[in-house]
Amino acid sequence: MKIGSFDLEKDGVYIIAEMSANHNGSLQTAIDTIKAAKDAGVNAVKLQTYTADTLTLDCHEDDFIVKGSNLWDGENLYDLYKKAYTPWQWHKDLFAYAKEIGIDIFSTPFDKSAVDFLKQFDPPAYKIASYEITDYDLIEYTAKQGKPIIISTGIALENEISEVVEICKKVGNEQIILLKCTSEYPAPLKDANLLTIPDLNSRFDVIAGFSDHTLGSVAPITAVALGAKVIEKHFIIDKSIGGADSEFSMNAIEFKDMVEKVRQTEQLLGKVDYSMTPSKQNSRNYARSIYVAKDIKKGERFTEQNLRSVRPGYGMHPKFLKDILGSVAQKNYKFGERFEK
């Protein structure tokens, strides 16, 4: 599967910098964030396309007050989204700038009108947020666009994950990426349960990845080691600018460090390989093999005193030593000679 020109099977891990609300209401900050993400080595920047009215109701009843959140407790949903959203009139400039500097850009649509709006920019993919995974109508509509669809599974039940995968496939879209996600902000490491990543891959027969809300880079690096092909993490130029998501976002320096470590992890993982490379062969020269430990005359018996398994490895394989001991030498052997029967 490809996202834009990036081949997830051949090109490694696709790293997404989630801007979310980290523009803090400034178009210039949003543009600068895209540039900083490019400099950090990411593959894509992701926006969120919604308005307060497409997400919730302008209602101040108790149901619409955030509860149980470390960051937003007591806030009204409508007011929070109104403050955090990315103005739709910015999208043209942001998509154009990303294209100009050579970095992928796409977005999370939160309703059908956002999907329709985003079509004009021909995004390389669409992202479904964790809290929208139960909106089957939105997922079906988005999948019908024929682009890779990246779905966070943070609040989903197992049967819901199965159902949304089936919805995408029924409309002819098998370009499905499921992201393990913990919908806590920030998310504790103990709740990450990253072993779910390979299970998503095998259980649902899709590409699996990780949408990270933990602090630091341990979780995304571990996710890559467990087979994640896509990593998404919130990105901010500088936490000092503040904003709704700043507390659990990585700054530019931290993000660049994470990207470098992910790339190093990819190198470490490599591939399944039992071949004998030149380097491996050179190292085998210093393994053990059978050598003559004392001069041996023709007719003498081989013993543990005159024939030993030692380094280096130019002689006969040590596995033959037991079979040779006790037999009779058919010729003379000199001390330090490689043993070859």
Query: Domain locations in the chain?
Result: 10-50+85-269, 278-324
Confidence of residue 243 (pLDDT cuts 50, 70, 90): confident
3-state secondary structure of 45: strand
At 199 the pLDDT is: 97
- Listing DSSP states for 177-239 in one string gives EEEEE--SSSPPGGG--TTHHHHHHHHHTSEEEEEE-SSSSHHHHHHHHTT-SEEEEEB-S-G
What is the percent of the chain with per-residue pLDDT over 90, rounded to a whole number? 90
Rounded Cα distance between 84 and 73, Å, is 15
At 239 the pLDDT is: 85
Rounded Cα distance between 81 and 111, Å, is 14
pTM value is 0.89
Rounded Cα distance between 88 and 110, Å, is 13
CATH code, residues 10-50+85-269: 3.20.20.70
At 248 the pLDDT is: 85
What is the average per-residue pLDDT within 114-142? 97
At 65 the pLDDT is: 95
